[in-house]
Chain A
Amino acid sequence: MAAPPGDAVVVAEGVHKRFGSTPALAGLDLTVPAGMVYGLLGPNGAGKSTAVRVFATLTRPDEGTAIVAGHDVVREPAAVRRKIGLAGQHAALDEQLTGRENLRVFGRLFHLGTAAARRRADELLERFDLAHAADRLVRTYSGGLRRRLDLISSLIVSPAVLFLDEPTTGLDPRSRNEIWDAIRGLVADGTTVLLTTQYLDEADQLAQNIAVIDTGRVIASGTPDDLKARIGGRIDVVIAAGCDLSGAAGALARVADSAVPPDIDPDRRLLSVPVGDGTVALPDIVRGLDQAGVEAVDVGIRRPTLDEVFLTLTGKPAENAPDSAPTVAEVLR
């Protein structure tokens, strides 16, 4: 098996895929280095799942090339399949079998042989702390337990790269933490993970590198710190009753050195303004507002939401793009 160039486990170049007249991928370029969790971040319909389906040989790209673990997904799909694991948005399990039986069947289908498939199932259940539920029917599992079993089903052959397509969508916070722990455990073992998610905090928690994807293309990429620095946070200020809101907004814009006027929520008396970089410190804001005679009840710096990431990166909300939106290049410059 040839080593992938530059230790990149996934390399996509100009990948296009359309379903009917709807483009799902429109020139996707992506390089995933070995040995890390790489986050593919984007809203519903951005093309994340289609990208994973192309890499996992489930969907053939219309144009462009994708090399996974050193093999072309179109020309050598069988070789790719031997080296990847996939856990999708559904728990792809047989509900009428026990957890252990599910793993054994998958082991046999990975050509381990019956005996080795049994051993591997027991090993994985033990290691990921699922032995207590192993002999119950999957039908009786909670959502989180299903996803965990689904996750370890994709680890039967210690894949060179593991694709996790929104592994925590729809899970409660506790189950989500369990999945995150399992994923961290994998990375500690050196598995390369390509993770798609709609949640910025998930990408932030798990990924060493993030690509933000929208309308089938990567619109920004880098480490979480890079992106956050580029996107910045927001300062939320709750203004005391009896204090003039628009006057306070003007003061806040000056103090925060913001190019755009603050958002005003009159019901909650909340002002919110983006801060472009990390140079604005909370004490300065508080002092500045105080000097301007603004009485603040609550002041906080908050991380951007995904919508705000989008607004900043694309100049438009995730949906309903206005005609006059600046181009991606303009925003990133």
Chain B
Amino acid sequence: MSAPVVPYSPLRAGLSDGAAVMSRNLLKLKHQPGQIAATFAFPLVSVVLFGYVFGSAIPIPGGGNYREYLMPGLFVMGSVFGIMGSLTVIAKDNGLGVMDRFRSMPMARSAVPFGQTAADLVVAAGSLLVMAACGLLFGWRAHNGVAATLGAFGLLLLLQYAVSWVGVFLGSMVKNEETAARLGPLVMPVTMISNVFVPTAGMPDVLRTIADWNPVSAATVACRQLFGNPGLPTGELAWPLANPVLATVGWSVLLLAIFIPLSVRRFRTAGL
């Protein structure tokens, strides 16, 4: 009388389970109009706050509109803040015992991290579009044609995907949502010690070195380059800023190479 469960092949199980976990996460958004509103509000508030408050006082090297200078950095910030999504969801599932149920089921254990990061990617693509629309509203433009523009968005999504895996791993290490929420503010300095808001050239040496090698800076320069926005660094440059696209891809691949195996291993063996 028990309905027989036909074992799926590992590949089919992985794909099917990943899709189920992904749709679970996307389904949640449907019930949380507040979260969607927040997704819209973040770029709007950032552009107004940083664009008009800072923009009135910060000169752009080589001249230009500060809001055009700012938008690529805000895109990158949005990608990096994506870490909070996977971090909180995974931590919450841990706290509620959902992870235990998943682990007691015949599903592929790696489906949780892969499905989660895939859902994050879909959400990130959506919020990137909203952010771009906000930017257009406040005078930001992409000047270098469709290919370069899509290239920049692709780069942003790659970075966000890599960061999302960091979030999955950290989320699987903490006990509950409260702990995860406390980790949130730590993301702030990572995005601030960079060239998102001001050029690194004026920073004290140590800080400048950190900022120059911060993946956020490389990604920001890469986007400025690809969108044709003002304020590209000039003169003697650190390697990541001289090769921003390559550096961003490199950083992302490095994060993925570290955190995918770590996360998958964690989901296989946690609690054993």
Q: State whether these chains interact.
A: yes
Residues of A within 8 A of B (CB): 53, 56-60, 78, 81-82, 84, 86, 88-98, 101, 105-106, 108-112, 120, 137, 153-154, 157-160, 189-190
Q: Is the CB of A110 within 8 A of B5?
A: yes
The residue in chain B whose Cβ has the minimal distance to the Cβ of A60 is B272
A71 nearest CB across to chain B (Å): 12
Q: Is the CB of A158 within 8 A of B27?
A: no
Contacting A at CB under 8 A, from B123-153, are none
10 tightest A-B CB contacts, nearest first = A90-B97, A158-B2, A108-B20, A92-B97, A92-B101, A86-B104, A96-B28, A56-B104, A60-B272, A81-B106
Q: Is the CB of A96 within 8 A of B106?
A: no
Q: Is the CB of B2 within 8 A of A57?
A: no
- Candidates A82, A91, A105; contact of B24 at CB < 8 Å: A105
User: In the complex, A95→B27 CA distance in Å?
Assistant: 12
Q: Is the CB of A111 within 8 A of B6?
A: yes
B32 within 8 A of A: yes
Provide a sorted-by-A list of 10 A–B residue pairs whose CB atoms are within 8 angstroms: A56-B104, A58-B100, A81-B106, A96-B31, A108-B20, A109-B17, A109-B20, A111-B106, A111-B107, A158-B2
A133 nearest CB across to chain B (Å): 15
B96 within 8 A of A: yes
Residues of B within 8 A of A97 (CB): 24, 27-28, 31
- Candidates B16, B32, B98, B106; contact of A82 at CB < 8 Å: B106
Q: Is the CB of A84 within 8 A of B104?
A: yes
B239 within 8 A of A: no
- Candidates B28, B103, B106; contact of A58 at CB < 8 Å: B103
Q: Contacts A88-B97, A89-B97, A94-B28 hold; do A111 and B16 have CB atoms under 8 A apart? A: yes
Residues of B within 8 A of A94 (CB): 24, 28, 93, 98
User: In the complex, A159→B2 CA distance in Å?
Assistant: 7
Residues of B within 8 A of A158 (CB): 1-3
B90 nearest CB across to chain A (Å): 12
B145 nearest CB across to chain A (Å): 41
Residues of A within 8 A of B17 (CB): 108-109
Residues of B within 8 A of A57 (CB): 103-104
Residues of B within 8 A of A (CB): 1-3, 5-8, 13, 16-17, 19-21, 23-24, 27-28, 31-32, 93, 96-98, 100-107, 111, 271-272
User: In the complex, A92→B96 CA distance in Å?
Assistant: 6
Residues of A within 8 A of B97 (CB): 88-92
Chain A CB within 10 A, most for which of B1, B6, B106: B106
The residue in chain B whose Cβ has the minimal distance to the Cβ of A57 is B104
Q: Is the CB of B100 within 8 A of A86?
A: yes
B101 nearest CB across to chain A (Å): 4
Residues of A within 8 A of B107 (CB): 109-111
User: In the complex, A316→B19 CA distance in Å?
Assistant: 53
B34 nearest CB across to chain A (Å): 11
The residue in chain A whose Cβ has the minimal distance to the Cβ of B112 is A109
- Candidates B5, B7, B8, B102; contact of A157 at CB < 8 Å: B5
Residues of B within 8 A of A98 (CB): 31
The residue in chain A whose Cβ has the minimal distance to the Cβ of B99 is A92
A141 nearest CB across to chain B (Å): 13
Q: Contacts A110-B105, A158-B3 hold; do A58 and B96 have CB atoms under 8 A apart? A: no
User: In the complex, A81→B7 CA distance in Å?
Assistant: 11
User: In the complex, A153→B100 CA distance in Å?
Assistant: 13
B50 nearest CB across to chain A (Å): 31
A267 nearest CB across to chain B (Å): 43
Residues of B within 8 A of A189 (CB): 1
Residues of A within 8 A of B5 (CB): 82, 110-112, 157
- Candidates A84, A95, A108, A120; contact of B96 at CB < 8 Å: A95
User: In the complex, A293→B98 CA distance in Å?
Assistant: 63
Residues of A within 8 A of B98 (CB): 92-94
User: In the complex, A137→B101 CA distance in Å?
Assistant: 19
Residues of B within 8 A of A59 (CB): 271-272
User: In the complex, A160→B17 CA distance in Å?
Assistant: 22
Residues of A within 8 A of B1 (CB): 158, 189-190
